[in-house]
């Protein structure tokens, strides 16, 4: 399944950054282990709150070259001026956690994977990042 990337932006202002992409060795706020999932930090470098986010993610199998692509809006995500917020993509339904396809290659493919994300806030330049997920149950995958 490869959804086309619908993000088309003419704005060139860089008002946020993404960093710390992680897909393995995840922990909760108390440091306890949680299931593997995509998470990363968004830092608003502007003087205005940012809203109207959307994201396009590709998952590439490093062995077969198969690619899956997913697009979603991120309703309710606001990153205040100067704030850094960690967002998660999983099946927990917690605040700042956004839903994912539990049948995607991320959960079903035992080969090594590369995830590439493009995060966009309406009117501003999209930001991209990538992270690798180790084969099988092996841990790793921190940018």
Where are any strands of DSSP class E within the chain? 16-22, 38-44, 53-61, 67-73, 84-89, 97-98, 113-121, 127-133
Nearest CA to 40 among 125, 49, 53? 53
Please give the pLDDT value at position 141.
46
Spell out the CATH class of 16-133.
Answer: mainly beta
Q: DSSP alpha helices (H): ranges in the chain?
A: 105-108
The top-scoring range by mean pLDDT among 91-95, 106-110, 126-130 is 126-130
45 falls in which pLDDT band (50, 70, 90)? Answer: very high
Sorted by where each begins, the domain ranges of the chain are: 16-133
pLDDT higher than threshold 60 for residue 29: yes
Tell me how far apart the alpha carbons of residues 113 and 141 are, in angstroms, rounded to a whole number: 9
pTM (2 decimals)?
Answer: 0.90
pLDDT higher than threshold 50 for residue 142: no
């Amino acid at each position: 399944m490869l959804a086309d990337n619908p993000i088309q932006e003419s704005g060139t202002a860089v008002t946020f950054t993404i960093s710390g992409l992680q897909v393995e060795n995840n922990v909760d706020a108390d440091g306890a282990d949680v299931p593997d999932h995509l998470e990363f930090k968004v830092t608003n470098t502007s003087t205005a709150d940012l809203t109207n986010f959307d994201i396009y993610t590709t998952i590439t199998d490093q062995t077969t070259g198969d690619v899956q692509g997913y697009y979603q809006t991120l309703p309710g995500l606001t990153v205040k001026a100067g704030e850094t917020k960690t967002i998660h993509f999983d099946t927990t339904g917690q605040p700042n956690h956004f839903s994912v396809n539990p049948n995607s290659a991320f959960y079903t493919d035992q080969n090594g994977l590369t995830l590439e994300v493009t995060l966009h806030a309406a009117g501003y330049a999209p930001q991209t990042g990538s992270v690798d997920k180790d084969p099988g149950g092996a841990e790793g995958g921190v940018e």
